[in-house]
């Protein structure tokens, strides 16, 4: 059950239950009508996970929704145990007359920093933000993460040469694979423009009216077929 799944395996295992694979996690939301109902949903999810709750489940409770995520935290990856738990949680939520859905909150934000010497700048950002190495990381250029699981992950992209006329910090927004085109269309309609789709569906590069760039990303297009 601790076998790490591929992106496609993880996505296909849970899609019918309303979960989406994002950045090494499974994520879903349960629309609710009160904080009390949200607490009931979270309690049911914890009960379903049993002894696995601490090592796999995270929950964010609001008065109108609960956002649930599953990951084998020690590996920072999705395993067969996570997909099994997702199905069990969805069934338990249905017993409450509610549903797990890929709606508000089912996205993850990363910040990408371009650098010529990643090892030289990574310690600064780690110390400044009080971040930690991502579980399972094994090198001085890997991503850093908020140990509380609240702030966005930060990853570092190597540059071949200086780019003084282009922004070197940009947002990467990972969205459900079936929501990407809708999100891009909304950003373009709001005054942005598409810079490049040459790497789609792994990522699209967009920019605002002044050229500040951001990427919309999905799990697709990253693995050899």
- For the packed helices 7-14 and 80-95, what is the interaxial angle rounded to 10 degrees? 20
Q: Answer yes or no: is 134 within a domain.
A: yes
pLDDT at 136: 74
Residues 80 and 121 placed together within one structural domain of the fold: no
Residues 86 and 133 placed together within one structural domain of the fold: no
pLDDT at 1: 65
pLDDT at 10: 97
pLDDT tens track for 11-40: 999 999 999 999 999 999 999 999 999 999
Residues 51 and 135 placed together within one structural domain of the fold: no
Evaluate if residue 43 carries a pLDDT over 90. Answer: yes
Q: Answer yes or no: is 26 within a domain.
A: yes
Evaluate if residue 141 carries a pLDDT over 70. Answer: yes
* Final residue of a structural domain among 71, 95, 119: 95
* Final residue of a structural domain among 62, 95, 128: 95
Residues 58 and 91 placed together within one structural domain of the fold: yes
In this prediction, residue 2 has a pLDDT band, given cuts at 50, 70 and 90, of: confident
**What is the number of domains present in the chain?**
2
Question: Bigger pLDDT: 152 or 160?
Answer: 152
Q: Answer yes or no: is 199 within a domain.
A: yes
State how beta strands 108-115 and 153-158 pair. parallel
Q: How far is CA 109 from CA 59, 168, 214, in A?
A: 17, 17, 11
pTM: 0.86
Residues 116 and 208 placed together within one structural domain of the fold: yes
Structural domain that includes position 145: 108-217
pLDDT at 166: 67
Spatial separation of the C-alpha atoms in residues 76 and 56, rounded to whole Å = 10
pLDDT tens track for 83-112: 999 999 999 999 999 999 998 889 999 999
pLDDT tens track for 184-225: 999 999 999 999 999 999 999 999 887 878 999 999 999 886
Residues 120 and 89 placed together within one structural domain of the fold: no
CATH of residue 177's domain is: 3.10.180.10
Q: How far is CA 31 from the centre of its chain?
A: 19
In this prediction, residue 158 has a pLDDT band, given cuts at 50, 70 and 90, of: confident
Q: Answer yes or no: is 122 within a domain.
A: yes
> What mean pLDDT is predicted for residues 38-60?
97
CATH of residue 52's domain is: 3.30.1360.20
């Amino acid at each position: 059950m601790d076998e790490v799944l591929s992106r496609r395996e993880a996505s296909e295992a849970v899609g019918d239950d309303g979960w989406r694979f994002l950045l090494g996690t499974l994520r879903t939301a349960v629309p609710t009508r009160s904080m009390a109902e949200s607490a009931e949903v979270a309690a049911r999810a914890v009960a379903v996970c049993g002894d696995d709750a601490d090592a796999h489940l995270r929950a964010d409770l609001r008065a109108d929704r609960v956002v649930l995520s599953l990951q084998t935290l020690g590996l920072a990856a999705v395993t067969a145990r996570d997909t099994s738990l997702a199905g069990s949680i969805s069934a338990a939520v249905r017993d409450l007359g509610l549903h797990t859905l890929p709606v508000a909150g089912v996205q993850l934000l990363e910040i990408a920093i371009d650098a010529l010497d990643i090892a030289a700048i990574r310690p600064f950002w780690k110390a400044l933000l009080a971040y930690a190495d991502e579980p399972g990381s094994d090198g001085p250029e890997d991503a850093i993460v908020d140990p509380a699981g609240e702030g966005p992950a930060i990853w570092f992209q190597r540059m071949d040469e200086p780019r003084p006329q282009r922004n070197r910090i940009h947002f990467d927004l990972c969205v459900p694979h079936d929501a990407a085109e809708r999100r891009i269309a909304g950003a373009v309609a709001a005054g942005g423009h598409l810079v490049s789709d040459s790497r789609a569906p792994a990522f699209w590069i967009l920019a605002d009216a002044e050229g500040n760039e951001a990427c919309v990303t999905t799990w697709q297009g990253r693995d050899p077929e």
